[in-house]
Each structure stands twice: as C-alpha cells, then as structure tokens.
Structure 1
Amino acid sequence: MGNKLFRTIRWTFMYAFLQSLGLMVGFVIIGHLIAYILIQHTSYHGTLDWIVNHIGSTPVIAVFGCLLFLAFFFWTSRNMILYLKEIRQGLQQMAEGKLDHVIPVKAADELGEIASSINILGEQFKQLLQEERNAEKTKNDLITGVSHDLRTPLTSILGFLELIENDRYQDEVELRYFVNIAFEKSQHLKRLIDDLFEYTKLNNGMPLAMEELDIVGFTMQLAEEFVPSLEKAEMSCRIQGAEDALWIMADGDLLVRAYDNLIANAIQYGHAGKSIDIRMEKAQDEAIIQIVNYGEQIPAKDIPYIFDRFYRVDQARSAETGGTGLGLAITKSIIEAHNGLITVTSTAKETVFETRFPLAHSKT
C-alpha cells in the first residue's frame, strides 16, 4: 500500500517540478554571482547598472528564473512525455491491426499500469479474434461435414427411388431389395440428423438435470442391458474394480447416451478380442471408469482426432456399420458437460477409453 502510494504519476510530476525548481534556483544564484563579478571587474558594468536601475533586479531575476524553470521542467519531464508518445504509438499500432505489438512497461506509476493494461487488452483481443476465426472455421467444417454426410445417403435413396419410379426392376424380389436399401439409407439419414441435433444442443449449453448418481451401479446396470448385443457378437463383459458406490453429480439420461456409445464401440471394434472389460476405481476425489476392448489398435496418428465430429478412423468400416461420425464427439461433449474428462489410449494389447468425474461432496 505504501509503495503504491508513492508510485503515482503525481509524484513523478512533483519530482520533475522540484528538480526543475532546484536547478532554477541554483542557476539564478550562479547568474547573480556572475552578474556581480561582471559589474565589479569588467566593462559590462554600465549596461548591467542601467538594467538594474531602470528595470530592477527583481523583475530580471523573475523573468530569467521563469524561463529557466520552464526549460528545466521540459528537460526533466522529457522521459515521461516520450513514454506517453510511445504508448500512443503502441495504440496506433494496435488500431492498425498489429495486435502482436507490445508496449514496454517502463514505470511503476499509472503510465506503467496503462501500458500493462493495453498489453493485456491487446492479448485478450487477439485471443478473441483467434476464437472467432476458429468458430468460423468450425462452422464451415461442420457445414462441409454435414453436407457430405447428408448427400451420400440422399443420393442412394434418390437413385433407388428413381429406379423404382421408372420400373427398372426385374421382379418383385428386386423391387423389395431396392426398397429395403432405400429404407436402410433413410434410417441412417435419420440417425445422422438426430445425432447432429443432439450434438448441437449439447454444445449450445443444454441444461442438465443433475442429481446424485452411483456411477458403479449405473455402469453395472448398463452392462447388463448390453448382454444380448454381447451374446450376438459372441463376446463377454467383465466388470472389475470398485464394489462400493461412487457417487457423482450427473444427468443420468445423458450419461446413458455417452456410455452406450463407448460400450457399443467396444463391442463393434473389439469383437476380435472376444471380451470387453469395464474397470471402476476411486482415485483421490475422482471416480474413474474405463471401457476396455482388445480389438485392433487405433493408429497413433488418429488418437488426437478421435473425438472430432465426423472423424472416422476407418472410413470403409464406418460406412459398413452405419456410423455417423458423431458418436464420440457427442460422448466427449456429455462427459465435459459433467465437468468430467475423457481420454483414449491404444496399444497392440488393448484400447482404453477412460472417463473421470469429480465425486459428489456430500458422499465423499
């Protein structure tokens, strides 16, 4: 507080004023002594005597002192004026769009604070501008992805309907075949639209019905619901880890969708391993759930993009299984909406999708 009191622009001006005043007094005294010597010992005494007798020594000293004071004040305050010009030039640079320009903070007073604030403002504005550009790119990428993914099934549907419209089928069996393909493509189109609608809602801040949820019991119940799918794929599910309840704050309906995606993916892409594991544990103040499959390894180059919308590791296999490319993006949005974290690691041995949630305080 004390240092801040004395590090103000008032004290800077006061220092310049007192310094100028001291220099002025010193030079006036020296000038007075020089004038006295000149009067006593040189031929200038007549001129000086006339000035003293007709104008007076006091007015001369006053005028001389004022001129000296102004000259010294301009000189002692020059650094501050130059700094103000530097700040003004920095603002002009930023106004011209050069947001990387940084104004050096040379003082601890208000001028230094202004320079620091301008630098912070410039950095924040640069970040906002970058975020706006990223948002625009995201929007364009979304439109491109949606257009591509909508066009593909629509083209197939229209193609087969055109064949039917023009009676270009041999018999009723082929007609039913065309109708069945058009129906399957229509279902895929509906799934894509539903996923896109849900993804948009989640990323626009959809309100959550949060309540305390036992994630252990929740996951075990969800695993039981996948028994028919596991039997069909000739796979088994092993549950490992925590037996005691782990309570988190969650919207159960949304969390079902997230783990539906993770377990369905584990069955779909890990069927070669003949089993999936669900591991649950408590680590400090977090509940950790891992969905593990033993199928093909996800290439390392695909890991950073695995949760991006419309990103598919295997385009051909995704097309065969009817994936929309939004499942994992929706899952990530749901987990993060619960203040959770989702990560993936993949080796030749296993692929692990790990989710972490903060434990509910009233249950810890």
Structure 2
Amino acid sequence: MKTNFIYTMRWKFILVFVLSIASVVITLLIAYQVFLRLVFIKPFSIPIRWVVNHIGSSPVLVVVGSLLFIVFFFTYSRKIFAFLEEITLGLKEISQGNLSYEITTKTSDELGVLAEHFNQMTKKLRKSIEEERNAEKAKNELITGVSHDLRTPLTSVLGYLELIETDRYKDEVELRYYTNIAYEKSKSLKKLIDHLFEYTSLSGEGIKLQLKKVNIISFLKQLVEEFTPLLKKAGMSCRLNTAEDTLYVQADGHQLMRAYENIISNAIRYGSVGIYIDILIAREHDQAVVEIVNYGEPISERDLPYIFERFYRADKSRSSDNGGTGLGLAITKGIIEIHGGRISARSNFKETAFVTKLPLTI
C-alpha cells in the first residue's frame, strides 16, 4: 500500500491547522458583527459595554479565539485520533493473544500503511503459530504412527524368537517355520525403517538432488523393462503410450526412479485384476505429464483425498498386512514436489490413475 504525498499525515495536520484557524477567524468575524448589533439592544448592551470597558475587546478575542481553535482542531482531527486509538487497541488485543483482530484501513496515509502492515503482521504471526502447531501435531502423529507400525512386527519377531529361545517347538521343521516368520517380519521392519528414513529426509530437506537432464520417455521405458519379471508374475503387462519422441526434465534419476517405482508397484499390487497397466506420457504447455493407470478395484472417494498422507491406509490398499508401510505414496509425493512438480490421483469403477506433472527443460 503506497502513500500519496498529498495524503500524508503532515499535510493532513497542516490542513486541520489551516481549517481551524480559518474557522476561528470566520467565527470571530461573525460574532463581532453580531456583538456590534447587540450593543445597542437591551439587555445585551450592559454586559457587552462592561466587558469592553473593563477587559477590552482584544484580550477577549484572543481568549475566545484560542478556545475556538482548540475546539475546531479536535473536531477536525477526531478521525485521525480515533484511528490512532484503534491501532492502539489492536496492539493491546494482539498483546493479549487475539491474533484474529484486524484494523479496518480507512485512510491511505501513514496510519493506513501502518494499519496495513499491522494486519499483515498479525496474519503472518497467526500463520506462523498455526504452522508451528501443525508441525507439533504432525510430529506427534509421526511418533504415534511409527510406534504402532514398529511395534506390530517387532512383537511377532520377539514372540517367535522367544519360542525358539525356550525350545518350544516340536522339530526342526517347526523351528525353521518360526525362524522364517521372524525373518520376514524383520524384513518388514527394515522396509518400514528405510521408508521412514526416506520420508524424514524428504520432509526435512535432507536430500540434495543430483540434477541432470533426463528424457522422461526413455527413463520410463527402461523402468518398465525392469518391472517385466514382476509383471509376468502378476499376470500383467504394461503399455506405454506417447506422441512425443523426447520430453526432457531436470531431475535426480535415482530419486525419480524411486517415485515411479512406488506408483508402478502399487499399480501391480492393487490392479492385477485389470491385467494391464497403461503409462501415458504427454506434453502440457511447459510440463511433462505422466499418467500411470491400472484397472483394479477403485479407491473409495472417502480415502482418495488422503492417500498421499503418511501412514494413511485405506481399507483395501494401505494395509501393512499386504506389504504396505503407509509411507510409499507420501515419499513419492515428496520426491515429485522437490523436483518442482505435482502429483494427484483419480479413481472410479473403470480405472485408477496417478498423474505426475514435472516442469520441462530445454
């Protein structure tokens, strides 16, 4: 908010001063003409003549003029002082913790600028406190989620190791069975810890990207080739469609691979009934758009807005029992965003699609 020179406080006070003097002069001139007529009219003539003879007209005019000047000055400047009082009240409110208080900007002078800055300050302070509260809440949720997800497999590992330690097994076959379960649960623990480390590194800006020029089309073709054994095992195949020859993005190939690996793995895990996975690559203005589509069971409308949140598990797809840690999509979202991109998802009874958009580079 810029201040017009004409509407600055100094000019307003000069204007108030001039108006006050002008009003005093006009008022005294009118009063003088009135008294000149009243001096010949009884009963006004006696007190008027007494004042003139004993005090004098000049002292009376000075005293009355001074009083009138004070009255007119406060009358003309009352809006300015009222605004100052409102700013003072605002400072008092914010000092008492009322960060929702806002001053109505009524002028374009320095006070208006001050009020605007005051409102911006309260908004930023309110946002800062809200972000701090959200960060504290997120930290508590993270601790709770980690504790829960670590405790479940760890309890199983300890339980089976206790059976082995106390020789409570029938034969070597049962021993190996217990050992295998403990081993698989330990792998789940490691996977969760690895994912947790990745997520905290991303959210805490602990990863330094090694950016290079990457052709997203050839990059995804190569990644699909690596998934061929897993696709065959699931009885699926992947179709890659694009009208472009090359689409270049600035990216850390290793991190980008982890992001798309998570999406494709999810597509295989939860879309196997659909047989196909389609990867559609296109140019949209200055962005490379990648859609990874599977034709399995849809994600419910209730779950869809939250699938990128850490530790969120929908009824069918976000369960630790089927291998999910609840962090895969949160990690994917973090990787895409630190590359300056965006990720979204849509799902209906026909298909489920994860859409990523990354800025193109020359």
* TM-score normalised by structure 1 residue count: 0.93
Question: For the structure 1 residues 7 and 245, does the alpha-carbon distance in structure 2 shift closer, same or farther, using more than 3 Å as the test?
Answer: same
Contact 1:312–1:325, Cα closer than 8 Å, also in 2: yes
Contact 1:292–1:350, Cα closer than 8 Å, also in 2: yes
The equivalent residue for 2:195 is 195
Q: Aligned ranges for residues 290-305 of structure 1 at < 5 Å?
A: 290-305=291-306
Q: Aligned ranges for residues 294-333 of structure 1 at < 5 Å?
A: 294-314=295-315, 318-333=319-334
- Residues 285-294 or 108-117, more deviating: 108-117
Contact 1:297–1:346, Cα closer than 8 Å, also in 2: yes
The equivalent residue for 1:116 is 116
Whole-Å separation in 1 of the counterparts to 2:71 and 2:350: 82
Whole-Å separation in 1 of the counterparts to 2:3 and 2:195: 59
Q: Deviations over 1:257-288 (max 9, x none)?
A: 00111111111111111221111111221111
Question: For the structure 1 residues 38 and 119, does the alpha-carbon distance in structure 2 shift closer, same or farther, using more than 3 Å as the test?
Answer: same
Q: Deviations over 1:81-124 (max 9, x none)?
A: 12221222222222222222222222222222222222222222
The equivalent residue for 1:125 is 125
- Residues 334-343 or 12-21, more deviating: 12-21
Whole-Å separation in 1 of the counterparts to 2:30 and 2:349: 91
Whole-Å separation in 2 of the counterparts to 1:8 and 1:58: 36
- Residues 164-173 or 311-320, more deviating: 311-320
The equivalent residue for 2:338 is 337
Counterpart amino acid of residue 152 in structure 2: T
Contact 1:273–1:293, Cα closer than 8 Å, also in 2: yes
Tell me the SS of whatever aligns to 1:301: coil
Counterpart amino acid of residue 67 in structure 1: L
TM-superposed deviation, 1:45: 5.6
Whole-Å separation in 1 of the counterparts to 2:215 and 2:2: 54
Give the unaligned 5+ runs of structure 1.
Answer: none
Counterpart amino acid of residue 336 in structure 1: E
Tell me the SS of whatever aligns to 2:131: helix
Tell me the SS of whatever aligns to 1:299: coil
Tell me the SS of whatever aligns to 1:300: coil
Contact 2:20–2:69, Cα closer than 8 Å, also in 1: yes
The equivalent residue for 1:217 is 218
Counterpart amino acid of residue 286 in structure 1: Q
TM-superposed deviation, 1:66: 1.4
Question: Size of the alignment, in residue pairs?
Answer: 361
Contact 1:161–1:182, Cα closer than 8 Å, also in 2: yes
Whole-Å separation in 2 of the counterparts to 1:316 and 1:55: 100
Contact 2:303–2:314, Cα closer than 8 Å, also in 1: yes
TM-superposed deviation, 1:3: 8.1
The equivalent residue for 1:60 is 60
Instruction: Give RMSD over aligned pairs.
Output: 2.1
Question: For the structure 1 residues 216 and 56, does the alpha-carbon distance in structure 2 shift closer, same or farther, using more than 3 Å as the test?
Answer: same
Tell me the SS of whatever aligns to 1:312: coil
Q: Aligned ranges for residues 1-364 of structure 1 at < 5 Å?
A: 4-42=4-42, 48=48, 51-52=51-52, 55-205=55-205, 206-314=207-315, 318-360=319-361, 363=362
Tell me the SS of whatever aligns to 1:329: helix
Q: Deviations over 1:173-224 (max 9, x none)?
A: 1111111111111111011111101100111112211111100010000110
Whole-Å separation in 1 of the counterparts to 2:23 and 2:282: 77
Q: Deviations over 1:330-364 (max 9, x none)?
A: 0010011111111111122211111111110xx2x
Q: Deviations over 1:116-171 (max 9, x none)?
A: 22222222222222222211111111111001001001111111111111111111
Tell me the SS of whatever aligns to 2:296: coil
- Residues 226-235 or 190-199, more deviating: 226-235
Whole-Å separation in 2 of the counterparts to 1:340 and 1:112: 39
Whole-Å separation in 2 of the counterparts to 1:298 and 1:110: 55
TM-superposed deviation, 1:239: 1.2
Contact 1:297–1:351, Cα closer than 8 Å, also in 2: yes
Question: For the structure 1 residues 162 and 62, does the alpha-carbon distance in structure 2 shift closer, same or farther, using more than 3 Å as the test?
Answer: same
Whole-Å separation in 1 of the counterparts to 2:165 and 2:175: 11
Contact 2:2–2:113, Cα closer than 8 Å, also in 1: no
Whole-Å separation in 1 of the counterparts to 2:316 and 2:181: 20
Q: Deviations over 1:53-102 (max 9, x none)?
A: 56543333222211221122122212221222122222222222222222
Tell me the SS of whatever aligns to 2:106: coil
Q: Deviations over 1:305-353 (max 9, x none)?
A: 1111111223687333322111111001001111111111112221111
Whole-Å separation in 2 of the counterparts to 1:144 and 1:350: 33
Whole-Å separation in 2 of the counterparts to 1:317 and 1:331: 15
Give the unaligned 5+ runs of structure 2.
Answer: none
Contact 2:3–2:109, Cα closer than 8 Å, also in 1: no
Whole-Å separation in 1 of the counterparts to 2:168 and 2:2: 92
Contact 1:216–1:242, Cα closer than 8 Å, also in 2: no
Question: For the structure 1 residues 261 and 317, does the alpha-carbon distance in structure 2 shift closer, same or farther, using more than 3 Å as the test?
Answer: closer
Tell me the SS of whatever aligns to 1:245: coil
TM-superposed deviation, 1:14: 1.8
Question: For the structure 1 residues 35 and 156, does the alpha-carbon distance in structure 2 shift closer, same or farther, using more than 3 Å as the test?
Answer: same
Question: For the structure 1 residues 43 and 238, does the alpha-carbon distance in structure 2 shift closer, same or farther, using more than 3 Å as the test?
Answer: closer
